[in-house]
Amino acid sequence: AQSVAQPEDQVNVAEGNPLTVKCTYSVSGNPYLFWYVQYPNRGLQFLLKYITGDNLVKGSYGFEAEFNKSQTSFHLKKPSALVSDSALYFCAVRDVNYNTDKLIFGTGTRLQVFP
Amino acid sequence: NAGVTQTPKFQVLKTGQSMTLQCAQDMNHEYMSWYRQDPGMGLRLIHYSVGAGITDQGEVPNGYNVSRSTTEDFPLRLLSAAPSQTSVYFCASSYGLADQETQYFGPGTRLLVL
């Protein structure tokens, strides 16, 4: 079965510093990977996706993610963190086979950016 | 456009009570889904629909019923609430099943079952 893991419950970073939120995946076949952000009392918002092609994917709000096949990772990155980036971040993989097509979400990582 | 709307925002139920969580979208989306969000478990798919009159089960369907009589509405019913159903529930929609990764999510309904 497809799955993703987010090993860190929380990541703390100072404003202006680079940030990384980690995600590893386990899939059979080619992975379809995604990142979402959830601000307090809001639903999830799509940030970016990797389907195929360039390993560095750029998304909304200055975020990017690097797909690494050998390490089975899809870490979310941003060169310079903002306080407003503080939120809950979810990695997800799309589970597609003959009888299913759904998203499998990680457990989430809370990003706290300090001024 | 209002996007995806959910009512109520917060609800307290007693064990055994029933209720319906409402979800509506005004974007003419065919695909709609319900998730529950629990601490340390991410989001889990409860039920989904690929169009009016068509529904199917997700990962955790037990204890929940859905129907899709119109394109706009996708209510989630709890027939006999249990404390294990205490959670935050999100409804989402997209143009189609193929677009589900870019679903629009509603603001959520926080449910507490005593």
- pLDDT 10s digits, A40-83: 888 889 999 998 888 999 999 999 999 999 999 999 999 999 99
Distance between CA atoms of residues A17 and A39, nearest Å: 20
Residue B98 is predicted with a pLDDT of 77
Task: Kindly determine whether residue B42 and residue A94, on different chains, have CB atoms separated by under 8 Å.
Answer: no
What is the phi/psi pair of residue B58, to 5°? -100, -145
Q: Which of 1-60 (B) contact A at CB < 8 A?
A: 4, 40-45, 48, 58-59
Choose among A44, A94, A107: nearest Cβ to B105: A44
The minimal CB distance from B101 to the residues A42, A43, A103 is found for A103
For all residues of chain B together, what is the average pLDDT? 93
Q: Of A8, A46, A88, A109, which to mutate for an interface test with B (greatest number of B Cβ within 10 Å)?
A: A46
Collapsing DSSP states into helix, strand and coil, what is residue B85? helix
Highest mean pLDDT among A14-23, A45-54, B90-99: A14-23
Distance CA B26, CA A38 (A): 22
